[in-house]
Chains A and B, each alone.
Chain A
């Protein structure tokens, strides 16, 4: 993989905004703004590198299934900060397999060329629109129709909705897509907006709504603002929050595909995979695997470990994470009060400097259980956080 400088397209901000990337400006604490979309550079991968990484993603999914079984057998829920009242539904849906849609692996890809799993965003991954659509159009604009990119996201998402609908697994007249209106950059809204695009292409009727507006009627179940039953809900809102909110009991009790119940996408068992506790579990089960970094629940790591990243079980975007090198904290993510549920410790790995201090993380997308594409974010520091940049890629 090589990083190249590139000439940005004329008028690119208007172009990407029209394609839905309205949240490309990232405000910094000092009031400055930086661009999250960065087409002043791109990465090129060889076909072989793509096929190798794809094979790693497939292997990871198989290992994750074993890891899920292990968590249930060993009853590690409390250690992972998962409340007991959510456990019966997690176990039940893990066995019954209600519809799931997508996820995103984050891999380190240092100069040894061996992808190493940093985490799996299995419940509410974002960065979807820029991966599936914006970088796709960028590649065509810059390199022409013949350009290749690891990016089957759009096709596979449409195909997945169609498959689920045809199998009768999306009950109700329409698919409700829920976002939180507390997010005001437009990122969450446009993520479900893009998913609506893919669902419409599969001939589904869609309705976008704020999760805050979701209603519950005793004896009838969840309803939208017009009072229509919400039978199938895609929610861009993590289960780890939902199970601690007022409607948790209703959601847990009335989960399913019958009248008065709701099918939730992603399913609640994704709490097993999106939790950072999955990392020490994978290490425990596959200690020799080169794609699994050594990791422990905090407190179980060897005393000699002095280069590591400490991550909250439930945080996102590097929040409340800390990088420790030779026993000293060298970098910390933004403080967002994560960590009360506990931490994991993961051995430090070098992301690799691909030029000018740019350190990439490979976001490898999965649709159902198929590797579906790549979105690269790079940062100047050691942690991938909210100030990281999305940089497009091609296969060359």
Chain B
């Protein structure tokens, strides 16, 4: 027998459903939020020394003053927010490394989502 005994897929169906629901393919937006998850000026987070503000990652379209809802957030003084990002990903010619579909162009930028 040259076949695997079992091929249990636990995570794959979840990831497939998440991707089809728009999570994996959509860009996420970074919002600066306060303690109450209320969207505020990015300046508060960009300074990097305001401990009461957080980076929040979510779907695009939230205006200032709106509530970002529950989700992962990152303290704006955290080193993650100070990291240089976007240094890889510029070459994705026709998309990715799989079969090119001709659907998409270009690479991602800062804070693009992935699942």
Q: Which residues of A contact B (CB under 8 A)?
A: 17-20, 22-23, 26-27, 29, 36, 50, 124, 126-127, 129, 132-133, 136-137, 139, 147-155, 178-191, 193-194, 196-197, 200-201, 208-217, 220, 223-227, 236-238, 241-242, 244-247, 250-251, 316-317, 319, 334, 336-337, 373, 386, 395
Contacts and interface: CB of A to CB of B under 8 A. Distances in A.
Given A180-B97, A181-B112, A182-B107, A18 B79 contact: no
Nearest to A228: B80
B114 A210 contact: yes
A212 B109 contact: yes
B62 interface: no
Given A181-B89, A210-B112, 12 more contacts: A126-B98, A129-B12, A154-B4, A178-B88, A180-B96, A181-B108, A182-B92, A182-B107, A184-B95, A208-B15, A215-B84, A319-B100
Contacts of B91: 241, 244-245
Contacts, number: 247
B10 A212 contact: no
Given A151-B4, A190-B19, A211-B88, A179 B114 contact: yes
B7 interface: yes
Interface size grouping (class) on chain B: 35 or more
A170 B79 CA distance: 23
**Chain B contact surface mostly:** loop
Interface of B: 1-13, 15-16, 19-20, 24-25, 27, 57, 72, 74, 78-115
A193 B11 CA distance: 7
Contacts of B115: 189, 193, 208-209
Contacts of A20: 9, 12-13, 15-16
Nearest to B74: A226
A247 B87 contact: yes
Contacts of B87: 214, 216, 245-247, 250
Closest 8 pairs (CB-CB, A-B): A183-B96, A215-B83, A247-B87, A227-B80, A212-B108, A182-B92, A187-B98, A210-B114
Given A136-B4, A208-B114, A317-B99, A184 B104 contact: yes
Contacts of B95: 180, 182-185, 188
A137 B12 contact: no
27 contacts: A20-B9, A22-B20, A23-B98, A50-B2, A132-B7, A151-B2, A152-B4, A180-B95, A183-B92, A187-B98, A189-B19, A189-B115, A190-B16, A190-B19, A193-B12, A193-B15, A194-B12, A196-B15, A208-B114, A213-B85, A216-B85, A217-B79, A217-B84, A227-B74, A241-B91, A386-B99, A395-B2
**B4, B25, B91, B105, most chain A CB atoms within 10 A:** B4
